[in-house]
Structure 1
């Protein structure tokens, strides 16, 4: 019976294989036919395009950015925005070398897209367009030539409350420049240039948080940076205190068995309805959707320090957390936009602790009680892009008038009223004479040189001091000088400010010179004789 049945099975298998082979051949033919049809269709389409005779656009646009990348420094409440500047360049490609435009406008647009719209396949419910800035470059028709420098400069200040570009599971936010031009032949030309806008929150002091876990005496303290970047590590310091509870004869303590951490991303979006689908939604203006996903995670089973000898006991642990531990993790920065899209992040730390019983007489005798707890802590994270070496535009600008400090007080005459000078007075000093330095003029051979003064000093070695001649009471008619008197000359400040007066020298007689010389020789000989 078996010998009869076996050939039948083999025949069936062969028939099945033949049918499969024929089906594979048919399948190959089916796979080939659509490709040929698609080629024919594409060829027919190209033929239709060529037959239609559509002309290329007479001109095209290019965007030239002159400013640095748009980075909003600081949080939404404290950011001053960002400055942008650039040029819109028009390139004429018409064979005639001339294009006449009747309209040329450029708008900065923000596009908010939701992945859970009120009505599927509805563009009005899926994407929302908002215009931030609008520029009109032409007020009347104008002709542009191929050889000309057709450039349109522009500049704007972005509001510091604008959200950065975001791509999350529930929606996205993007920015773009949209240029609309109309030629004299009523031909519309559209150009779109994407714009990258980021937000960078500056780092600050480390953030410390404390958590209490009743009914136990356990207290957890976590120290970590306040700002996290999508690329990099997050150093976290964890300290658990109150792990030992001592009694008269024994003590109970908690021992850390395992530590787990994870970073979660929470996104929220409000799906608005368009005018066509107002009746599909209730009286509420929008439908809110919430989604959460896990980014980076990790666990530790060792590597911490346990101290049961101090009062209360402590467990100290340091670990490095990452925002994305896998290539598939694509974190988004924190966003809180007016359009309804919100993205936030949080760090969740879980500790598994087990209770132990220890007698005070022998602390090496440890007995597990079987009780265990899970200590869960959650901390908010601020995820932001890196600012690099850039600074906010308000920190780079020069100081304003109100930033200049007050000047010293001014002085004015007594007859001036109170006003800009503050009513200050300047009076003469009637007190005792001030201390001054006795100055003398240095003799010079050139009378045109400005006067030079030096401090007068007494010279010894038989040289007399300068002699000043004054007129006596008997010489009122100016007949001649009176008896010479030795006196120091005092120069006042008023005299120093005046220009020097050059008095011609009096010609000295030969007899006077000889007498002076004889006097010097006699004094020198007398000194030698002594």
Structure 2
């Protein structure tokens, strides 16, 4: 059989169409006249399907020269589809026609307010919903868990799954620990978890990604496909913005130039911020030559830089034996070895050649400018919020301001006659800024919670026991009752004696 296949592919003058005609001519039985009917095969017929890929010896003889086909049509060899026994798609394995899993989050957006040292965390609560579609559904177990997954995009070992993804379980729930029969309806199982304030926020950059993954699984009793639920929780961090902008003063020796900068230390992603700049000491008067030397601002540029640093830990299999094989990062009481990955990229920048006010004729000379900058300068480079974790992960930002100044000379009488001295300098400043999410209308969960019993102030003082035993309360009640009785009797029986007094008093006054 192998030599036939070789001969089939080596014949340069034969075509698929001529071979099919020859095979069908030999396969049809002879007619009464002893001649064979030559029938043109249908274009839809398949050579491989009719003969199962086997060519008889008398079908293609070496002495017979097959005619060359005039048609230049290309035909494909179709092979029968082999049935795969027991094969099911991934979609069929993941679905169960008897029931389904879903969830409903009752709490708001998970936002941690304040720094990792001061934040009390975020509260997440919701309902896990098991919808039964049949009359009854018997579940063996129903479990759920919440874990934080850190995916290293440049792991310690490239093709190792354990080095790429690190999972840390935060909390687990066991809703059904024994076989339970559930009727047709939507069964709800409440869950809640407090995310501690030191945990990092959700982030995704070119070095790593941090996600909070909620997974649930229900195992049927009859051994059918299990019900699985996979959801992610977006956890954010919001730092309070100061009421006043930060003020920074910089001096650039050996010149006398000083820079006063007011900027916002806390900014938000995809937002516009502003910083004000004032340069002083740029001019110097020469009384003898009645001239002035000053530094002229040629270009003002700003850029936002993002610094990302993380430690790609090694799994147990790829952990180097020697301590010098990699850097060690401490996570709680556990020490892990890995490689430090760091990168710096520019997420926004701009160059300005005008737009500021300059005064070169005054005693010292000043330059004032107000610059607006945006965090979303490049659509492909989305700014990540600041992150600081205990495992060595850190994302920080800084605002870099560069100024190009050149020294010029001009007489006081003719300030337009400018003569450059050929001296130029680059003045550079960088300021640490924090990119954080907006707080919105929410506050920390501990400020929204009602006070507990221990926080309630003391109630009013109770009555002492000795006061009740002495009969003070009873005497007070008897005296009030007697006074009420006397007042009623005086109004009824002594009305004639009280009215003359009133008349006398009135007469006396008149």
Alpha carbons 1:268, 1:290 under 8 Å: kept: yes
Cα offset, 1:45, TM superposition: 5.9
For 1:208-236, what per-residue CA distance to the aligned partner results, in whole angstroms no more than 9, with x for missing partners?
Answer: 22222111111112212221111111111
Please list the CA deviations of residues 286-316 of structure 1 after superposition, one character each: whole Å capped at 9, or x if unmatched. Answer: 1001111111111111110112344422110
Which residue does 1:248 correspond to in 2?
Answer: 287
Partner of residue 116, structure 1: 154
Counterpart in the other structure of 2:52 = none
Q: Give runs of aligned pairs for residues 102-501 of structure 1, distance below 5 A.
A: 102-147=140-185, 149-186=186-223, 188-205=226-243, 206-249=245-288, 250-279=291-320, 282=325, 284=327, 285-360=337-412, 363-399=415-451, 498-499=483-484, 500-501=487-488
> CA–CA distance in 1 between the matches of 2:256 and 2:88?
80
Q: Secondary structure at the match of 1:498?
A: helix
**Change over 3 Å in CA distance of 1:44–1:211 after alignment to 2:** farther
TM superposition shift of 1:377: 0.8
**Which residue number in structure 2 is paired with residue 77 of structure 1?**
117
More divergent stretch after superposition (123-132 vs 221-230): 221-230
Structure 2 equivalent of residue 67 of structure 1: 107
- The aligned counterpart of 1:453 is none
SS at match of 2:292: strand
Contact kept in structure 2, 1:112 and 1:339, CA below 8 Å = no
Change over 3 Å in CA distance of 1:369–1:196 after alignment to 2: same
- Once the two structures are superposed, the pairs formed by residues 10-21 of structure 1 within 5 Å of their partners are none
Quote the RMSD (CA, aligned, Å). 3.7
Deviation per CA, 1:222-279, whole angstroms, max 9, x where unpaired? 2122211111111111111111123432432111111111111111121111112124
Q: Within 2, Cα distance between the matches of 1:256 and 1:497? A: 98
In 1, Cα distance between the equivalents of 2:257 and 2:76? Answer: 73
What residue number does 2:61 align with? Answer: none
Distance verdict in 2 for CA 1:279–1:80, change over 3 Å? closer
How far the C-alpha of 1:105 sits from its partner, in A, is 1.5
Distance 1:185 1:401 in 2: 49
247 and 102 in structure 1: CA distance in 2 versus 1, 3 angstrom threshold: same
State which structure, 1 or 2, has the greater radius of gyration over its C-alpha atoms: 1
Q: TM-score, normalised by structure 2?
A: 0.69
Q: Secondary structure at the match of 1:118?
A: coil
- Deviation larger for 324-333 or 181-190: 181-190
Q: Residues 190 and 222 of structure 1: is their aligned pair in 2 closer, same or farther, counting only changes over 3 Å?
A: same
Going from structure 1 to structure 2, the CA distance change for 1:170 and 1:44 (only over 3 Å counts) comes to farther
* Whole-Å separation in 1 of the counterparts to 2:93 and 2:209: 36
Match 1:502 to one of 478, 489, 497: 489
Matches of 1:228 and 1:204, distance apart in 2: 10
The structure showing larger relative contact order (alpha-carbon pairs under 8 Å, at least 6 residues apart) is 2
Do the aligned partners of 1:359 and 1:365 also contact (CA within 8 Å) in 2?
yes
The corresponding residue for 1:17 is: none
Residues 192 and 301 of structure 1: is their aligned pair in 2 closer, same or farther, counting only changes over 3 Å? same
CA drift of 1:171 comes to 0.8
CA distance in 1, matches of 2:108, 2:118: 21
Q: 1:401 to 1:357 in 2, by over 3 A?
A: farther
- What are structure 2's unaligned runs of at least 5 residues? 1-72, 328-336, 468-478
Pairwise CA distance, 1:345: 1.1
The question of whether the paired residues in 2 share the 8 Å contact of 1:346 and 1:381 is answered with: yes
In structure 1, the gaps of 5 or more residues are 1-27, 417-493
Q: Residues 267 and 497 of structure 1: is their aligned pair in 2 closer, same or farther, counting only changes over 3 Å? A: farther
- 2:88 alignment partner, SS class: helix
